[in-house]
Structure 1
């Protein structure tokens, strides 16, 4: 019988043996976690099932590819304004005409116009930029009820993941103009507000288009979260409310970062 090693009891197997431990990159596997085959074996096995395509490590590669494609495509875009708004706005809605005018004036001011690339308010802003001869960008998202990029998009990227898509909006937009919208628009609006409030990004102007539509939200923010001390006194002031597309674009155009 061999002498017991450190931490072992006589006449017992070691707690951890070399053949029950394996390193897989930065990961250490022991005991029952050690697979019966190696990574290379599984890679080269022709009978291997394809469910690995849907596993989380593979999703990381897809996520990475979306960031690479987004950064690579938009890095040389130049000054741009992000326009948010509902996909459900119809062409005969006054908000659609407002979106067209926003896109047109933004393009004439030298901005590329970035939208979610869908129908409704997004299509309107892309249409305005397209008709003005500007750069019309659509950042699409894979959704079961979306129909793809609208016909006025000149430069389009389709994303699987909302967070990758949002990163592109925030990184490449000098400011945001928000047309009437629902949950998706509110999500994008409050994402931008949160990043600015927490100083995760350089501050940027955010303009709400449509006083009748947005005034109730501003009133609630003042009477609720601000009155209860849950947002600061200046947080509502990050938002500008207007009905004038020219004013909205001018705010983006003339905005100066605090302390700049």
Structure 2
């Protein structure tokens, strides 16, 4: 597997002075003849010394851009701010794009422990234990860069979140149902977004991946994945099976996964084309739900899913500028008896006249219609 940068959205007006690829750099220099006040983000400029020695860079900012010593000296003296690349990191804190599965799992053939994903988690654990303020700053810079990249990616998208527990095993009917849900949402024109991990999250991303293929592709993929039901005891085997599905049925549909290294024992899944992985779980949780502009479907889960329900309900409760985000809870027995979340959500909704924006359904197959009724 080889890491390749994902396609990203065209820059909006608020981002039209950002340069995130060598092609963009060349276009700006050729078209504008200046880099005044541009932000150049994680672009390798070692082969662009002549341009950097000649062009006006007043007020420009270079974030983690490799360049020759001559170019770095000149642009700094000419009024640019240069944040040099940080050596010996398993990740780029200044990156301009979200991750791809190939990038995070690069080197999987030798074992998950040597992949960028695993090495980044190990670095996080070590620096968190050390209390290193520099490492803390790098984590914050990285997470802010990821948020910026995710915003650019999702411009104009109708995003539906699918939330649920990581313990949902491949090979179960619940997993298959979540996959069919993701496929139906993707075919309806929504961008499916999940927490990016295993279980229900992987299933929904798998469904979106399967959306362009014939219906029987998903049935066959589910059978193949069932041979490795969980990411324990071997993340390597679990991930390899997912990549086998991707290789057998290439050109799957896109979706978004938003996982975190905070839960490093939970690997990201390989079916989300775009992976916005964070170090800070609080930033990740808030960002995931805030971007689900067309609604959220909550599948049966435990404490984490309950937290997400009320993390989503809180801004809905205080929303004064527009319509609350639709919320659909799946499995009546789970949310009324086992974890009685629904009665409290109903009480909050009544206080704000939001009953028309929440729904409880018995089966997962009812969720898309419920979302549509709620205005998703």
1:114 and 1:169 in contact (8 A); partners too? no
Distance 1:163 1:92 in 2: 31
The one of 179, 188, 196 aligned to 1:117: 196
TM-score when normalising by structure 1: 0.67
2:351 is aligned with 1:255: no
Deviation at 1:237, TM superposition (A): 6.0
Q: Equivalent residue of 1:143, what SS? A: helix
The one of 64, 67, 70 aligned to 2:150: 70
The one of 181, 184, 191 aligned to 1:105: 184
1:242 and 1:248 in contact (8 A); partners too? yes
TM-score when normalising by structure 2: 0.48
CA RMSD of aligned residues (A): 3.1
Q: Which has the higher contact order (CA 8 A, sep 6+)?
A: 1
The one of 300, 312, 319 aligned to 1:192: 312
- Matched with 2:330 is 209
Poorly superposed stretches of 4+, deviation over 6 Å: none
Q: Which runs of 5+ in 2 are unaligned?
A: 1-82, 84-130, 213-252
Equivalent positions of 1:12-51 (< 5 A) are 51=132
Q: Equivalent residue of 1:66, what SS? A: helix
Q: Alignment length, in residue pairs?
A: 203
What CA deviation, in whole Å up to 9, does each residue of 1:69-106 have, x standing for no partner?
22123225x21210000001112433212211211111
Closer/same/farther in 2, CA of residues 230 and 143 from structure 1, 3 Å limit: same
- Matched with 1:146 is 265
Distance 1:255 1:244 in 2: 17
Structure richer in strand, relative to its length = 1
- Matched with 1:171 is 291
What CA deviation, in whole Å up to 9, does each residue of 1:179-235 have, x standing for no partner?
01111111111111111011167411100111221122156528xx94xx9972746
Q: Equivalent residue of 1:159, what SS? A: coil
- Matched with 1:136 is 255
- Matched with 1:232 is 351
The one of 221, 233, 253 aligned to 2:344: 221
What CA deviation, in whole Å up to 9, does each residue of 1:52-81 have, x standing for no partner?
4145x66653443232222123225x2121
What CA deviation, in whole Å up to 9, does each residue of 1:12-65 have, x standing for no partner?
xxxxxxxxxxxxxxxxxxxxxxxxxxxxxxx9xxxxxx944145x666534432
Q: Equivalent residue of 2:276, what SS? A: strand
1:81 and 1:111 in contact (8 A); partners too? yes
Q: Which runs of 5+ in 1 are unaligned?
A: 1-42, 44-49
Distance 2:359 2:186 in 1: 21
| Rg comparison, structure with higher value | 1
| Bigger mean CA deviation after superposition, 153-162 or 168-177 | 168-177
Closer/same/farther in 2, CA of residues 58 and 175 from structure 1, 3 Å limit: same
Deviation at 1:238, TM superposition (A): 4.3
2:182 and 2:192 in contact (8 A); partners too? yes
- Matched with 2:19 is none
2:295 and 2:371 in contact (8 A); partners too? yes
